[in-house]
Amino acid sequence: MNGEPPTPAQLAAITDPFVRNLAALGRVRTYPKNTVFITEGDSSDSVFVILAGKVKAFVSDSEGHELILNNQVPGDYVGEMALDGKPRSASVVTLEPTTFSVVQREPLLEAIRHNPDFALEMIGKVIERAREATDNVKNLALLDVYGRVARLLLNMAVDLPDGKMRIPEKITQQEIAERVGASRDMVSRIFRDLTVGGYISVENRIITLNKRPPQRW
């Protein structure tokens, strides 16, 4: 594969030691915005560690309906299911120009074979992703649309010194609808009710949770 290894500065910017070691196995590649670099159903042979930029993982049906699985930022990685060599289970697209360390399957398997600690870390990460997927399925099956929206907002928000919470990244109602498997109109109605109730405020697409949303609406 073409490309140079990640630079020491690129590796040093990754805080997780396991992800840093994973990125060191790859070669640097950059894709422009709106590039689908992993396609659901394609053969899988590499893991992509994000060095800079942002990506979106999603699944879609034959009619073009999408369900967003998650967004990933620098220090995250996608495509870890390349370990089994089976077709990709989801698609991933760049949301802005994004630079990766692309790790091929063979160097990854070699690292696992020769480093038990690395293997345990990799297994732990795969289990963590599986738990997240299970939680997402449970939410879709057991929560109504309001419950899924409220859960998503709380999961994405960080605490502020004044007791409020804020979602640090800009996110649109359409993106939220795609994340929770609902229509934009439904999400818009929920946001309107939460705003009138004083639970949230939105400025320049930044959402602030002024107080914890009720469990049910």
pLDDT per residue as tens digits for the range 118-157: 889 888 888 988 888 888 778 777 689 999 999 999 999 9
Q: What pLDDT sits at residue 137?
A: 79
DSSP 74: T
Evaluate if residue 58 carries a pLDDT over 70. yes
Q: What pLDDT sits at residue 26?
A: 97
Range with the poorest average pLDDT among 30-39, 62-71, 90-99, 185-194: 62-71
Q: What pLDDT sits at residue 62?
A: 77
What does the alpha-carbon distance between residue 138 and residue 159 come to, in Å, rounded to a whole number? 25
Better pLDDT: 143 or 1:
143
Q: What pLDDT sits at residue 78?
A: 93
What does the alpha-carbon distance between residue 46 and residue 80 come to, in Å, rounded to a whole number? 8
Give the range with max mean pLDDT: 6-15, 68-77, 142-151: 6-15
What does the alpha-carbon distance between residue 109 and residue 114 come to, in Å, rounded to a whole number? 9
The pLDDT tens digits for 150-198 are 999 999 999 999 999 999 988 999 999 988 988 999 999 999 999 999 9
Give the closest residue to 49 by CA, choosing from 83, 32, 71, 25.
25
What does the alpha-carbon distance between residue 111 and residue 107 come to, in Å, rounded to a whole number? 6
Reported pTM: 0.75
> Residue 154: which residues within 8 A CB-CB, separation 6 or more?
165, 209, 212, 213
Q: What is the mean pLDDT of residues 44-48?
A: 91
User: Mean pLDDT score of the chain, rounded to an integer?
Assistant: 91
Q: What pLDDT sits at residue 1?
A: 58
Residues 199/191, Cβ–Cβ less than 8 Å: no
Evaluate if residue 215 carries a pLDDT over 90. no
| DSSP, residue by residue, 120-173 | HHHHHHHHHHHHHHHHHHHHHHHS-HHHHHHHHHHHH-EE-TTS-EE-SS---H
Residues 55/94, Cβ–Cβ less than 8 Å: yes
Tokens of 156: 């994405």
Q: What is the mean pLDDT of residues 71-90?
A: 88
What does the alpha-carbon distance between residue 125 and residue 108 come to, in Å, rounded to a whole number? 14
